[in-house]
Structure 1
Amino acid sequence: MSLPASPTSVPPDLTNRTIAYFSMEIALSPKLPTYSGGLGMLAGDTLRSAADTGAPMVAVSLVHRRGYFRQHLDDTGQQTESDVPWSPETTLPSANQLIALTVQGRQLLLRAWRFDVVGVTGHIIPVFLLDTDVEGNDEWDRHLTDHLYGGDSYYRLCQETVLGLGGIALLHALGCKPEVYHMNEGHAALLTIALLEERLAGKPLREATEIDIDAVRQQCVFTTHTPVPAGHDQFGLDHMYQVLGHDRAAAIDCANCLHNGLMNMTYLALRFSRYVNGVAMQHGKVSQKMFPEYKVYSITNGVHASTWMSESFQELMDKEIANWRTDNRYFRSVYGIDPARITACHVKNKHRLFATIAKRSNHYFNPSVLTLGFARRVATYKRASLLLHDPARLVAIAEKIGGLQILFAGKAHPADNAGKGLIREVYAAAAKLNSAALKIYYIENYDWELGALLTQGVDVWVNTPRRPYEASGTSGMKAALNGVPSLSILDGWWIEGCAEDTTGWAIEDGETEAAEANSLYDKLEKRIAPLYANPNAWAKMQQHCIGINGTFFNTHRMLSQYFANAYYPPGPIVPAAISVTPHRRSTDTPEPEPALVTVR
């Protein structure tokens, strides 16, 4: 993959941008470490679809000068990390605005860099990356936008203050006054306070009325991605008052945005949004139970087709299916293509994947052998080791079907010792089980390019989350676009995407992990391997993956649903806030000189 077209020297007109999309991380290019995983990939794919379809959007994130991290694995699978530094000064044009925020009781200066997401027709979605590495700032403040998800909770709250308050100030200073502000997860929730401040025009926030709050709500849309209560950012009241100041902090309290005595970013977003949605049908239901006082809708995630389809498949689609790049519904026309041509594309992808692994690691794999892929952010609920639950049976299956290859990849958060332990478990299993019939390999430093190679080149995509903790999942959607079926727990998107023996297979729910592992092994031995041994039948399944799941699970469709249901619904929608229970606290080219905009 190559870096998208460089931004033009002249920014696009922002006065007609009616949707502002805020996300803590956005995957903009394989060359820029501005993302960590699924949330950032979804944000990037959303904006790529916006560019392809001519949507009037603009986006805001942070610059993350030192990236997320590069993963290093030793011979036992022990993970260590290093920074991935990059220089926006030598890569991107400046937004030519200087913003002054009052944060932590002192002035904090912000600037921004612009990345242009260029669509297939040339339409541009400008993305502004906020940066606190500005001369004049306190030394600690200059590193606030260095590390994605780094530091302690105080550092995180300061980052989220920069994203929310600073992002609004920047857009408005650039003459951009959107009609709708979309918060992609709760990290950006403080933008609602910035909008409230703007509405009050200098009056104390404590004077805000329900009419004022509702006026802000009418501008805001919120997407929640996390079905685990502990996964929602929350901060102590001492940090809230220290970072935001008394007026903003008291307003958050008075507006009933606290939860369990803490500043909870999800509850702040819920309180100030007219439309709230989960990222899959099931996740919407789970979120509704988590937040019963708010109405939660569902818009199932997707992926950007031309980003994740392999070159060989794109060439085939260009020859056979007109307009698929701007309208993914045309993937249904894949049924007019000989399935053997689809298989030929997959064979190229598989060879390309194995060649890359051999070059990186001197590990060699057989393209004719059934190959499973499992690549995820490594967290305990994703259960990377479920596939290895019964080693003896796995070996027996491999010997019976004429060989089996399993490729693992994924990063654990630097502070997640349990996740790191899972990687070591996979390494230990591989050391014991690798043989002529069974090969298991864990690939180091899972990233955008490796993710694409894996979803394009393996034969079956495996996903084993513990229900109901998979909000959506998108890696299996990428696999489907490349004719790769999934073997997965029925959670997240797979509840909607699984047509048994047609687009893949469901791992049946069990009361124990042993029962679920047994279902996985049964499907592998009795359904998957025999079908793989029948090339014609397998080719038809590959065709179904694209024709059925590729047609629906894409960000073109997803974005159209946001426009139709969230951004500009045809009529009144059920208010997000059904009822609100108070949560009271106890006590190189020279750039023009940027303008300075002060936000008190």
Structure 2
Amino acid sequence: MKALRRFTVRAHLPQRLAALERLSINLRWSWDKPTQDLFESIDPELWKLVDGDPVAILGQVSPARLEALAGDDAFVHRLEELAAELDNYLTRPLWYQQLGADRQGGKDPVLPNGIAYFSMEFGVAEVLPNYSGGLGILAGDHLKSASDLGLPLIAVGLYYRSGYFRQSLSADGWQHENYPSLDAQGLPLRLLTDASGEAVLISLALPDGAQLYARIWVAQVGRIPLLLLDSDIPENDHDLRSVTDRLYGGDQDHRIKQEILAGIGGVRAIRAFTEIEGLPAPEVFHMNEGHAGFLGTERIRELIEAGLDFDTALTVVRSSTVFTTHTPVPAGIDRFPVEMVERYFGPDPGGVGSRLLPGVPLERILAFGAEDDATKFNMAHMGLRLAQRANGVSLLHGRVSREMFNDLWPGFDPAEVPIGSITNGVHAPTWAAPQWLELGRELIGSEDLSSLQEPETWERLHEVDPGHLWWIRSQLREALVHDVRDRLHRSWLERGAAEAELGWIATAFDPNVLTIGFARRVPTYKRLTLMLRDPDRLTKLLLDKERPLQLIVAGKSHPADEGGKALIQQVVRFADRAEVRHRIAFLPDYDMSMARTLYHGCDVWLNNPLRPLEACGTSGMKSALNGGLNLSIRDGWWDEWFDGENGWEIPTADGLADENRRDDLEAAALYDLLERAVAPKFYDRDERGVPTRWVEMVRHTLQVLGPKVLASRMVRDYTQNYYLPAARALRQSIEPGASGDAEHAMAFGAARELAEYRQRVEKVWPQIRILEVDSSGLPDTPLLGSELTLTARVCLEGLRPDEVTVQAVLGRVDAGDALVDPVTLPMTHVGAAEGGQDVFTASTPLPVTGPVGYTVRVLPHHRLLAGDNEWGLVALAG
């Protein structure tokens, strides 16, 4: 019979082993191999059975074994050393603290007191299955690197009772989903409690008098607390207990409840946590995608409750908010029916304000998510309108995002849209094989791997013999082959095969054959089945007598995506064919554990998305960190860092309107590269059996990409380019204003000043006009470098000249007189003309030859704006 509920009972730890509890509950063990080795030594067989989970092994190990270990002086000594090392890691000054020391006495001596990081999913370790794919893994790597760098960051998400899902295959290759019920007490979590030991609850007022409560689980990720909100508690009505049941499950009403809880409830959870722990309140709020976008409305409510008006509160919130977008297509954005948002954020039936956010007008909330479809509420638009700083996750994705959201900044060219880019990175201690980390320690001469952030460290790979690099790669490939055989065996049994018919698996795959990996989520744009475009040609490549290939495929389709499931089935059916099944496999239940083995062992990492729909694609980074060579469409990060020697570019035909023709061309290019470039390099060996040209590409990949793909580089970029400016802007908004009147002399005076300025600007902006633009100084036949002087008369409708920026925009023009790659010149105010107009002028040498044009424009200007284009207001001449 089936148990009604499950929970974990642990053996009592002897006093000498008490530190095991501390080591198991801090997820730093997930990227610290000595700690993993210690837990494995408790019971190696049990360690395998619990899939390397320290909490689980402590829950299942026998009391007798624990007593024996308590009497083992060598084990206790190792335990004490590792516990001391953890304490040292958690307390010693790291990069962030040194950054603060370096900046003392400068313009910005104080770093942010705290950073709040919100994400709908976190892939920290496979034992905490709170992730579905790249977004969550990226968030997990962000936390680990923030910990390694010493950032005072607090992360917020939801605790999903059933995680995402476990994947299996039917006999005919169809994906099946299974949602195991997770036991929080058996996970590396602690419940946030108050001084009396009672669970801390946050609450949200929902429509029809309902109340949603959530408790807060804390996962400690090194130095970083990760707060996970859980609605499955007795205080909730039955239907509300399921709000946090599954990641990305349910209908839109279920989804909006999750996002309200993540955003608004997340802010309330942070307030409770920091008060209990005695920590400073975060100054910077970072939204990893728009799912938690409602956090900005909660912060506005807090400030209104503290006495600020709505516009001043909005100014303060925007100054300190960062928004990261991960989607390159509008279809990837969460959009809710407006009437659904009205239902959750509207007033009580009695009309006494909003139940959920008292004091925050519904119409202002709706304006945050407004888009061209008046019936939809757009979460990405809300994120952009609530954040003063925004970014995409690669250079190419930044460009794509500026074009995609250009409509929010009408009158500006896409290049001027204020969305930057920080290219994602990956956490090296999590994803690099132990052999590479050990080699790194040998080259550095230290256990401390922090210098991996410096390119000079990677240059030391020149000292390593090619044979040693090849030995590491061969070791990792062999380990992968053994893992693939084990997984194949389990999968075929699950699909109904008999043990007697699985003898072939013992020799499936070959440790000496060129091994290609393709593993990721299975949305259509990632084109899982492009490799099957010509099955006969693929078969020929797999079975080549001299230069065979073997291909390992993995990935999950969203449970509601029938098309994605059909793609998986196509691959499985091809891989089931007797003549190729020893050379190609689809491995079900792709997770962090499988991914790590694939990144370690694959020689080539394949990625063939529809360009430019891959925002970043960090799986290829993890492969590169292990000496894997990328074979990819120029999309995401690969468009940025491919150099011709660190892998291969699959030529793209993304301009073709005929999708079938495009896929045919790109598949043919893929086959050609495999046959004529990739395989020959791999199998061309010297007298020692080493493929020297291949190994030099491996060396080059590690040297060039190693320091770039690190999440530590990414987090440092966020800190210096986004977190520090956001904290500085927040402090400036809290300061007294510059105008000197009594209202602006108090706290938040600067924010009030900016809010009032914005109100004045938005009121008069439609009437601002550039009445006349004159040019002078040019000869009859202008030459490159000839001086051009522009003078403009501008009607500012009561705004002062120092409250605007007037610019001349000059450059080459196309056939439609559109400026191409123009340069922008500030124009100087030189006085007033008759009728109250202001006169501005600028002089410049002509910068280009050919057809040249110019215009003049006016933008708002204020010292607290991140840029004069921030509000999307511009007045153009003509």
Q: Report Cα offsets for 1:80-102 as digits up to 9, x if no partner.
A: 10013212234321112211221
Q: What code does the residue aligned with 2:512 have?
A: S
1:340 aligns with 2:467: yes
- Corresponding position of 1:518: 668
CA contact (8 A) 2:547 2:679 kept: no
Q: What code does the residue aligned with 1:100 have?
A: S
Q: Report Cα offsets for 1:459-492 as digits up to 9, x if no partner.
A: 1000010011100000000000000001000001
Q: What code does the residue aligned with 2:620 have?
A: G
Displacement of 1:75 in angstroms is 2.8
Distance 1:4 1:69 in 2: 28
Secondary structure of the residue aligned to 2:226 is strand
Distance 1:140 1:580 in 2: 45
1:215-364 matches, within 5 Å, as 215-246=316-347, 247=354, 250-253=362-365, 255-259=367-371, 260-261=373-374, 262-292=376-406, 293=409, 294-321=417-444, 322=446, 323-325=448-450, 327-329=452-454, 330-362=457-489, 363=505, 364=508
- Corresponding position of 2:563: 418
Alpha-carbon spacing, 1:381–1:370, altered in 2? closer, same or farther (3 Å): same
Distance 2:345 2:203 in 1: 14
Displacement of 1:440 in angstroms is 1.4
Q: What code does the residue aligned with 1:343 have?
A: W
Distance 1:542 1:356 in 2: 23
Distance 2:459 2:474 in 1: 22
Distance 1:108 1:168 in 2: 15
Distance 2:464 2:363 in 1: 60
1:503 aligns with 2:646: yes
1:429 aligns with 2:532: no
- Corresponding position of 1:137: 236
- Corresponding position of 2:840: none
Of residues 528, 538, 544 in structure 1, which corresponds to 2:678?
528
Alpha-carbon spacing, 1:435–1:169, altered in 2? closer, same or farther (3 Å): closer
Q: Compare 571-580 and 130-139 and name the one that shifted more.
A: 571-580
Secondary structure of the residue aligned to 1:552 is coil
Alpha-carbon spacing, 1:300–1:544, altered in 2? closer, same or farther (3 Å): same
| Structure 2, unpaired ranges of 5+ | 1-21, 28-86, 92-110, 194-199, 348-353, 410-416, 490-504, 657-661, 685-690, 730-864
Displacement of 1:357 in angstroms is 1.6
Q: What code does the residue aligned with 1:145 have?
A: T
1:192 aligns with 2:296: yes
Distance 2:488 2:576 in 1: 16
- Corresponding position of 1:598: none
Distance 1:17 1:150 in 2: 35
CA contact (8 A) 1:385 1:426 kept: yes
Distance 1:374 1:360 in 2: 16
Secondary structure of the residue aligned to 2:707 is helix
Q: What code does the residue aligned with 2:302 have?
A: E
Secondary structure of the residue aligned to 2:130 is coil
- Corresponding position of 1:387: 531
- Corresponding position of 2:712: 556
CA contact (8 A) 1:324 1:331 kept: no
Query: What fraction of aligned residue pairs are identical, expressed as a percent?
Result: 39
1:367 aligns with 2:511: yes
* Count of aligned pairs: 567
- Corresponding position of 1:579: 872
Q: Report Cα offsets for 1:528-573 as digits up to 9, x if no partner.
A: 1111013111111111221111210111000111011111138974
1:39 aligns with 2:135: yes
Distance 1:337 1:53 in 2: 29
Secondary structure of the residue aligned to 2:517 is strand
- Corresponding position of 2:159: 63
Secondary structure of the residue aligned to 1:334 is helix
- Corresponding position of 1:178: 282
Displacement of 1:430 in angstroms is 2.4
Q: Compare 490-499 and 37-46 and name the one that shifted more.
A: 490-499
Q: What code does the residue aligned with 1:60 have?
A: V
Displacement of 1:372 in angstroms is 0.9
Distance 1:276 1:115 in 2: 27
Q: What is the CA RMSD across the aligned residues, in angstroms? A: 2.5
Distance 1:539 1:532 in 2: 9
Of residues 3, 18, 22 in structure 1, which corresponds to 2:118?
22
Q: Report Cα offsets for 1:318-359 as digits up to 9, x if no partner.
A: 222244346432334323322322221221111111111212
Displacement of 1:576 in angstroms is 7.5
- Corresponding position of 1:459: 603
TM-score by length of 2: 0.62
Displacement of 1:251 in angstroms is 4.2
Q: Report Cα offsets for 1:13-72 as digits up to 9, x if no partner.
A: 9x9851110000001211111111100000000110011111111100101111100001
Q: What code does the residue aligned with 2:190 have?
A: P
CA contact (8 A) 1:21 1:182 kept: yes
Distance 1:357 1:518 in 2: 28
- Corresponding position of 1:6: 25
Q: What code does the residue aligned with 1:114 have?
A: V
Q: Report Cα offsets for 1:230-281 as digits up to 9, x if no partner.
A: 1100111221122233335714446443222211111111001011000000
1:168 aligns with 2:267: yes
1:108 aligns with 2:206: no
TM-score by length of 1: 0.90
Distance 2:128 2:149 in 1: 24
Secondary structure of the residue aligned to 2:636 is coil
Secondary structure of the residue aligned to 2:377 is strand
Distance 2:701 2:171 in 1: 37
Structure number with greater CO (CA < 8 Å, separation at least 6) is 1
Distance 2:713 2:265 in 1: 31
| Structure 1, unpaired ranges of 5+ | 119-123, 582-600
